[in-house]
C-alpha cells in the first residue's frame, strides 16, 4: 500500500511526513479537510524509505495533539503497516463540508504539495462553497443498486487495479462505498449515479452534454435560421459522455499536414491534449445541482467553446486559476483520475495553456460568471508551432541558444559567464541534453570543446 502512495510523492492528495511533528500534522489535516481530502503518510521520506523514528505507542498521542489544534473538531482514520526498517502510518483525512481552521486562527488549504494559508477574501469564498453542502454524496431519491451498470463498474474496477498496481479482492460494492458511489446502506449517491448509472439522465436530466457544430463564426446563419450543421445530445454515465464527445469532436476537427524532415505529419485544428483537458474539466467540475442546462461544446469555424454550468468553485478566481486547485466534486474527480481521464490533479489548466501556445495558437480564454464557466480555444495561428524539444527547454538553455544565434557557437566557459550562479556540472548537463535532443552539435574535445546549432 505504502509503495503506491510514495511513488506519487507529496502532492494534492498525499503528504509524506518522515518525522513526528504535531503542529505540521495538524496543519496538513486542516489543509486536506478544506480541500479534496487526502492521506498523511507518517514515517516515510521522499525516497520511499522508512525513517524508523515513529512507533505505534507514539502515534495516538501525536494524533490527539494534532487534532486538538483543529477547529471545529475533525475525525480521521489511522492505519499502520510494518515495513523494512520500521512502521508506516496512514492518516486518512476526508474532505469536510465545514470550513476548518487551526487554533491560532489560520485557515490553510492543500495546494499541490504545500499547505497554503488563505487570505480573508479567499476564506469568504471557500466558506460560501462549503455552506452549499456536499451534493455529490447526497442520496438520489428512488435510485437503487440495480440502477448502476455492472459493465461500467467492471471497467472502472479494472482501471482502478491498473492504477493501484494491486488487485481488489473484496466485493465491488465495497469499492463503490469507498469512493463514495454508495452509502452505508447500499443506496446510490449522486456521484454513483453520475459515474455508473445505467441511465443517469432519468434521475439527473441536467447531467448530459450537447455538442453543436456551427457552419460559421456565429450561432445564426445569414437569414436568421439555425446556423448549425450537426447537433448531438450525448447521455450516459460520465466516462461514456467523455468518450462519445471526444469521438464526435475528433470527427469534426479539421486536420492538415505538415512536413517535418522527410515525414508528413498530420496536425489537428486544435491540440488534442488541450481539447481533452477542457472537456474533462467541464465534466468533472460542473455544478450538478444546477438544473435546466447541460454542458455545451460549440464548434465554430474560428473557435471551440466548452461551457460548464456553475461558476468557479471554492476560492478559485480567474486571477489564481493557473496556480490554485479546488474540486467542487472530489469523488467524481477521484474516479476520473482512476479511469485515466485525469493524469494529475491541478495541472489541467497549465496543460491547456502549454499545448495551445506550443502549437502556435492563442492561449485559452476563460470566462467566469456566477452560474457558468467557459473555455474558448481559437484556431488561428499566431506563430509557428514549437518543436517538441523547445517545449522542454529550461531558461538557461534558452539563453545558450540565443548566445549561439548571436555569436555562432558557445563554450562551457562562455555558458558559465551568462549563467554565473549555476554549477559547471549543471551547465554541462544542459548542453549534453541539447546535444542528445539533436539541437546542438558538439565539436572538439576537452578544453577545445564548443557547441553549434546542428
Q: Tens digits of per-residue pLDDT, 126-140?
A: 887 776 668 999 999
Confidence of residue 406 (pLDDT cuts 50, 70, 90): confident
> How far is the CA of 228 from the CAs of 71, 214, 219, 244, in angstroms?
54, 4, 7, 19
Q: What is the DSSP letter of 384?
A: P
Mean pLDDT of the chain: 87
Q: Is residue 443 a part of any domain in this protein? A: yes
Q: What is the DSSP letter of 385?
A: P
C-alpha closest to that of 78 among 88, 65, 69: 88
Same-domain status, 429 and 352: no
Percent of residues, the chain, with pLDDT higher than 70? 91
Q: Show Cβ contacts of residue 229 under 8 Å, excluding neighbours closer than 6 positions.
A: 213, 214, 215
* Domain end among 126, 158, 177: 126
Q: pLDDT of 413-436, one tens digit each?
A: 899 888 888 888 889 888 988 888
Residue 328 has pLDDT above 90, yes or no: no
Q: pLDDT of 197-256, one tens digit each?
A: 999 999 999 999 999 999 888 887 666 566 778 899 999 999 999 999 999 999 999 876
In our burial notation (b when 16+ CB lie closer than 10 A, e otherwise), range 250-288 reads eebbeeeeeeeeeeeeeeebbbebbbbbbbbbbbbbbbb
Domain count, the chain: 4
Give the structural domain span for 31.
2-126
Q: What is the pLDDT of residue 259?
A: 54
Same-domain status, 219 and 256: yes
Residue 3 has pLDDT above 60, yes or no: no
Q: Is residue 435 a part of any domain in this protein? A: yes
Same-domain status, 266 and 373: yes
DSSP strand pairing (450-453 vs 440-443):
antiparallel
Q: pLDDT of 57-111, one tens digit each?
A: 889 999 999 999 999 999 999 998 887 778 889 999 998 888 999 999 999 999 8
Q: Is residue 383 a part of any domain in this protein? A: no
Q: Show Cβ contacts of residue 313 under 8 Å, excluding neighbours closer than 6 positions.
A: 129, 285, 287, 326, 327, 328
Q: What is the mean pLDDT of residues 303-318?
A: 90
* Domain end among 95, 126, 157: 126
Same-domain status, 216 and 354: yes
Of 1-15, 37-51, 273-287, 308-322, give the lowest mean pLDDT range.
1-15
Q: Indicate which CATH number applies to the domain containing 433.
A: 1.10.10.10
Q: Is residue 289 a part of any domain in this protein? A: yes
Same-domain status, 263 and 192: no
Q: What is the mean pLDDT of residues 390-404?
A: 79
Could you tell me which residue, 117 or 347, shows the higher pLDDT? 117
Q: What is the mean pLDDT of residues 342-354?
A: 77
Q: pLDDT of 259-301, one tens digit each?
A: 555 555 567 899 999 999 999 999 999 999 999 899 999 999 9
Q: Indicate which CATH number applies to the domain containing 351.
A: 3.30.565.60
Look up cell 491540440; give the residue.
271
Same-domain status, 247 and 120: no
Confidence of residue 449 (pLDDT cuts 50, 70, 90): confident
Q: What is the pLDDT of residue 285?
A: 92
Same-domain status, 157 and 95: no
Confidence of residue 258 (pLDDT cuts 50, 70, 90): low
Same-domain status, 217 and 347: yes
The H or E element that residue 6 is part of is: helix 2-8
Could you tell me which residue, 160 or 401, shows the higher pLDDT? 160
Q: pLDDT of 178-195, one tens digit each?
A: 999 999 999 999 999 999
Residue 12 has pLDDT above 90, yes or no: no
Q: What is the mean pLDDT of residues 406-410?
A: 83
Amino acid at each position: 500500500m505504502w509503495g503506491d502512495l510514495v511513488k506519487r510523492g507529496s502532492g494534492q492528495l498525499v503528504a509524506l511526513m518522515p518525522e513526528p511533528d504535531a503542529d505540521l500534522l495538524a496543519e496538513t489535516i486542516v489543509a486536506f479537510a478544506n480541500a479534496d481530502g487526502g492521506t498523511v503518510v507518517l514515517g516515510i521520506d521522499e525516497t520511499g524509505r522508512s525513517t524508523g523514528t515513529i512507533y505505534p505507542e507514539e502515534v495516538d498521542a501525536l494524533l490527539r495533539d494534532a487534532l486538538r489544534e483543529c477547529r471545529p473538531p475533525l475525525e480521521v482514520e489511522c492505519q499502520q503497516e510494518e515495513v523494512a526498517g520500521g512502521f508506516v502510518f496512514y492518516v486518512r483525512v476526508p474532505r469536510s463540508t465545514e470550513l476548518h481552521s487551526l487554533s491560532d486562527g489560520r485557515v490553510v488549504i492543500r495546494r499541490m504539495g504545500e499547505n497554503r494559508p488563505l487570505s480573508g477574501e479567499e476564506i469568504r469564498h471557500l466558506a460560501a462553497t462549503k455552506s452549499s453542502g456536499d451534493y455529490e454524496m447526497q442520496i438520489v431519491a428512488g435510485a437503487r443498486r440495480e440502477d448502476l451498470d455492472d459493465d461500467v463498474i467492471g471497467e472502472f474496477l479494472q482501471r482502478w487495479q491498473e492504477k493501484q498496481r494491486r488487485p481488489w479482492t473484496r466485493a465491488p460494492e465495497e469499492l463503490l462505498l469507498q469512493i463514495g458511489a454508495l452509502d452505508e446502506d447500499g443506496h446510490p449517491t449522486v456521484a454513483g449515479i453520475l459515474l455508473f448509472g445505467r441511465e443517469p439522465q432519468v434521475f439527473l436530466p441536467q447531467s448530459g452534454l450537447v455538442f453543436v457544430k456551427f457552419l460559421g463564426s456565429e450561432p445564426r446563419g445569414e437569414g436568421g435560421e439555425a446556423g448549425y450543421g450537426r447537433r448531438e445530445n450525448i447521455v450516459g454515465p460520465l466516462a461514456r459522455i467523455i468518450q462519445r464527445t471526444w469521438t464526435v469532436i475528433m470527427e469534426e476537427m479539421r486536420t492538415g499536414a505538415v512536413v517535418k524532415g522527410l515525414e508528413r505529419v498530420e496536425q489537428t485544428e486544435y491540440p488534442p491534449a488541450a481539447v481533452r483537458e477542457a472537456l474533462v474539466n467541464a465534466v468533472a467540475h460542473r455544478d450538478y445541482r444546477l438544473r435546466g442546462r447541460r454542458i455545451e461544446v460549440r464548434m465554430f469555424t474560428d473557435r471551440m467553446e466548452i461551457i460548464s454550468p456553475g461558476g468557479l468553485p471554492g476560492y478559485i478566481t480567474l486571477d489564481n486559476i493557473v496556480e490554485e486547485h479546488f474540486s467542487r466534486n472530489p469523488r467524481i474527480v477521484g474516479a476520473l483520475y482512476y479511469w485515466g481521464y485525469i493524469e494529475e490533479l491541478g495541472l489541467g489548466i497549465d496543460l491547456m495553456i502549454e499545448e495551445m501556445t506550443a502549437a502556435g495558437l492563442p492561449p485559452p480564454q476563460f470566462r467566469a460568471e456566477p452560474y457558468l464557466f467557459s473555455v474558448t480555444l481559437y484556431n488561428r495561428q499566431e506563430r509557428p508551432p514549437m518543436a517538441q524539444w523547445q517545449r522542454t527547454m529550461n531558461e538557461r538553455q534558452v539563453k545558450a541558444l540565443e548566445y549561439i544565434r548571436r555569436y555562432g557557437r558557445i563554450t562551457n566557459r562562455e555558458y558559465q559567464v551568462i549563467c554565473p550562479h549555476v554549477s559547471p556540472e549543471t551547465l554541462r548537463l544542459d548542453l549534453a541534453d541539447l546535444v542528445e535532443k539533436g539541437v546542438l552539435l558538439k565539436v572538439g574535445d576537452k578544453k577545445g570543446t564548443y557547441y553549434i546549432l546542428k
